[in-house]
């Protein structure tokens, strides 16, 4: 984990060198102040050497000015170093998340991901800047200061070393406890983010069911857990800092007590004790840095562990080494004895499914909810991998195709349309980011969206709101169809694309869908007979298996399961 963290410095090594150089130079200059003070008070003043007194004072002032400039560079560019490393980590994390399979997102809460992308990485950025800087400054200052102290008086220098081992041991003891506490806090922050996200996204359901009190109760529970976690951390921090503060004060006590004893014995001059006290003033800030470094490091480690947890997750679905681009010839699909179950699930969702879909034809999947229709359709773009059997398109096994090229040639229109927060134009163009204005206009016309767009003052540049909240279901659906028209795929999957619409909207959408499916290999999942009956072939599913197949007329004549579904209203006769 340490090596992975260090690797993020490589792209910004020049900034790192600049930051550390300024820190080291400033530390060395700080050590010169007690030396110059001792020389000024012990040598130049008693001799009345006014020229050397003035030069020494000027040199001290120059040192302070140089340190000011170095501090400016260190603070500004050190923080910029941390921010750039944070941006690199966030880029890598987001890119990695894009590669993960649906099965991962089925298990993980969005709020937890948001917490790791935002809160955790902000903590890491601070550590990336301060940790090496504080460590180097502290080590340089402590070493040089003790060298000077031993040169002045080795006995008193040894006395001043007494608190150090106690501080070191206490830091190790409390460090692990604080890290565990900070990790708990990070987890609870993720829970709060998740709770807020769910409540805000479902605010219409919350209000329609008058469940504000329930949401407040859920948030109160999460918020209380977060408060308790932070209280535990602050208890550990208090113990850490209070004991460290005691050892810190021991420095002054041991220096003054040891110095007084040595002066009494005639083994130390008063001016040397003054120099030691100045050194202690220089040593204590680095010790404070090390104390803060210990706390900050534990926060950073806990955050980086959470970051690395996701980065270590391998996608369930990856391109094989010799995967090739998918160049569809006609769009024939063959499913041969496929069986599938979700990750960590015992029950099979699909069993021994075999389907042949000829090029340019339309097939429908019919059956009750939970029969496995949508799951079956999601296997063709390889959103999930099957455990048994093969899926081929144009006689090419989809596991040997690059996922990106496979999915670029498959268009999907779903029941629950997702629109990005932005304009209608941005949502349609998502189907083909480099589309021309002519292509965009054609997709709008083909999706029966033109009349609606013409009523808007901003036309295609009208904002849709978060998840398309400013539009009706039919309008959102037509935008999703326009998006697929623009994509112009060889294969089309329509997953309950009209089931949630009223009759008027359904007829408009249906017309657009038939335009879209023309001359394309199309798979339809629907409960409406008006949609299913136009298919070239219907596969009837029950409990994850194909139980019947044929045209609408043939299936009715068989007087089997399909007719039962139609008779009891599972297939809506409109």
pLDDT digits (tens, 9 = 90+) for 14-41: 999 998 899 889 888 888 887 888 788 7
Domain count within the chain: 2
Q: Which two tokens stand for residue 234?
A: 């602050």
**What pLDDT score was predicted for residue 69?**
93
**What pLDDT score was predicted for residue 337?**
94
**What pLDDT score was predicted for residue 573?**
43
Instruction: Please check whether residue 418 lies inside any domain of the structure.
Output: yes
Of 488, 505, 532, the one marking the end of a domain is: 488
**What pLDDT score was predicted for residue 209?**
62
- 170/299 same-domain check: yes
- 306/415 same-domain check: no
Instruction: Please check whether residue 547 lies inside any domain of the structure.
Output: no
What secondary structure letter does DSSP report for 331? -
- 299/439 same-domain check: no
Please provide residue 314's backbone torsions phi and psi, each rounded to the nearest 5 degrees: -90, 140
Please provide residue 409's backbone torsions phi and psi, each rounded to the nearest 5 degrees: -105, 10
Alpha-carbon distance of 430 to 412, in angstroms, equals: 13
- 261/149 same-domain check: yes
**What pLDDT score was predicted for residue 510?**
75
- 286/148 same-domain check: yes
Instruction: Please check whether residue 551 lies inside any domain of the structure.
Output: no
Of 264, 282, 311, the one marking the end of a domain is: 311
- 139/286 same-domain check: yes
Give residue for tokens 């670029």: 408
**What pLDDT score was predicted for residue 108?**
76
Alpha-carbon distance of 498 to 72, in angstroms, equals: 62
Q: What is the CATH number of the domain that holds 143?
A: 1.20.1560.10
CB-based contacts of 236, cutoff 8 Å, min separation 6 = 174, 177, 178, 181
- For the beta carbon of residue 220, count every other beta carbon within 10 angstroms: 11
- 156/281 same-domain check: yes
Q: What is the CATH number of the domain that holds 419?
A: 3.40.50.300
Alpha-carbon distance of 377 to 380, in angstroms, equals: 6
**What pLDDT score was predicted for residue 205?**
63
CB-based contacts of 522, cutoff 8 Å, min separation 6 = 361, 362, 363, 491, 492, 493, 494
| Nearest of 405, 417, 410 to residue 357 by alpha carbon | 410
Instruction: Please check whether residue 405 lies inside any domain of the structure.
Output: no
Instruction: Please check whether residue 511 lies inside any domain of the structure.
Output: no
| Mean pLDDT across the chain | 82
**What pLDDT score was predicted for residue 569?**
58
Q: What is the mean pLDDT of each run of 10 residues along the chain (574 residues)?
A: 83 90 87 81 77 89 92 88 87 85 76 74 79 81 82 84 80 74 75 73 65 80 84 82 81 84 84 79 76 72 81 84 85 92 83 91 88 90 90 91 89 82 87 88 84 86 82 83 86 75 64 78 81 86 92 89 78 46
- Order across the sheet with 537-542: list the strands: 410-414, 491-495, 521-525, 362-366, 537-542, 545-550
Of 311, 332, 356, the one marking the end of a domain is: 311
Q: Which two tokens stand for residue 75?
A: 């603070």
- 192/305 same-domain check: yes
Alpha-carbon distance of 46 to 253, in angstroms, equals: 29
- 297/432 same-domain check: no
Check residue 360 and give left, alpha or beta (phi > 0: left; psi -120 to 50: alpha): left
- 441/307 same-domain check: no
Instruction: Please check whether residue 318 lies inside any domain of the structure.
Output: no
Instruction: Please check whether residue 307 lies inside any domain of the structure.
Output: yes
Instruction: Please check whether residue 299 lies inside any domain of the structure.
Output: yes
The parent domain of residue 43 ranges over 2-311
């Amino acid at each position: 984990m340490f090596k992975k963290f260090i690797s993020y410095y490589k792209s910004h090594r020049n900034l790192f060198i600049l930051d550390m150089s300024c820190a080291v130079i400033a530390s060395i200059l700080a050590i010169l102040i007690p030396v110059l003070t001792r020389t000024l008070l012990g040598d130049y003043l008693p001799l009345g050497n006014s020229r050397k007194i003035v030069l020494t004072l000027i040199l001290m002032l120059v040192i302070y000015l140089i340190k000011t400039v170095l501090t400016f560079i260190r603070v500004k560019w050190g923080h910029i170093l941390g921010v750039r490393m944070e941006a690199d980590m966030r880029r890598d994390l987001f890119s990695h998340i894009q590669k993960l399979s649906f099965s991962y997102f089925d298990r993980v809460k969005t709020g937890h991901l948001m917490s790791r992308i935002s809160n955790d990485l902000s903590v890491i950025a601070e550590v990336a800047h301060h940790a090496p800087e504080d460590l180097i400054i502290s080590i340089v200052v402590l070493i040089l200061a003790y060298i000077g102290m031993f040169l002045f008086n080795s006995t008193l220098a040894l006395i001043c070393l007494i608190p150090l081992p106690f501080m070191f041991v206490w830091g190790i003891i409390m460090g692990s406890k604080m890290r565990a506490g900070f990790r708990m806090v990070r987890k609870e922050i993720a829970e709060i983010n998740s709770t807020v996200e769910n409540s805000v996204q479902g605010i219409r359901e919350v209000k329609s069911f008058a469940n504000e009190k329930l949401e407040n109760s859920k948030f109160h529970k999460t918020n209380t857990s977060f408060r308790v976690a932070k209280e535990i951390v602050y208890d550990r921090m208090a113990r850490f800092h209070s004991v460290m503060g005691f050892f810190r004060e021991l420095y002054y006590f041991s220096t003054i007590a040891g110095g007084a004893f040595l002066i009494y014995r005639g083994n130390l001059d008063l001016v040397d004790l003054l120099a030691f006290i100045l050194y202690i003033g220089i040593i204590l800030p680095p010790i404070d840095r090390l104390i803060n470094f210990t706390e900050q490091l534990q926060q950073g480690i806990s955050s980086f562990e959470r970051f690395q947890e996701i980065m270590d997750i391998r996608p369930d679905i990856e391109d094989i080494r010799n995967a090739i681009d998918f160049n569809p010839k006609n769009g024939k699909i063959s499913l041969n004895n496929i069986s599938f179950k979700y990750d960590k699930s015992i029950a099979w969702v699909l069993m021994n499914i075999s389907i042949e879909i000829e090029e340019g034809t339309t097939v429908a999947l019919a059956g009750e909810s939970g029969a496995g229709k949508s799951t079956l359709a999601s296997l063709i773009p390889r959103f999930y991998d099957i455990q048994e059997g093969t899926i081929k398109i144009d006689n090419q096994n989809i596991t040997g195709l690059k996922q990106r090229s496979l999915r670029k040639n498959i268009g999907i229109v779903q029941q629950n349309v997702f629109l990005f927060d932005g304009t209608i134009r941005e949502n349609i163009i998502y189907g083909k980011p480099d589309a021309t204005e002519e292509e965009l206009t054609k997709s709008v016309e083909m999706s029966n969206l033109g009349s609606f767009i013409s009523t808007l003052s901003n036309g295609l540049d009208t904002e849709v709101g978060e998840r398309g909240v400013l539009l009706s279901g039919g309008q959102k659906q037509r935008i999703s169809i326009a998006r697929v028209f623009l994509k112009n795929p060889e294969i089309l999957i329509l997953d309950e694309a009209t089931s949630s619409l009223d009759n008027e909207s359904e007829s408009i959408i249906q017309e657009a869908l038939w335009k879209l499916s023309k001359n394309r290999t199309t798979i339809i999942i629907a409960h409406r007979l008006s949609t299913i009956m136009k298919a070239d072939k219907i596969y009837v599913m029950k409990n994850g298996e194909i139980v019947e197949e044929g045209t609408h007329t043939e299936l009715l004549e068989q007087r089997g399961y399909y007719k039962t579904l139609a008779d009891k209203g599972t297939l809506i006769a409109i």
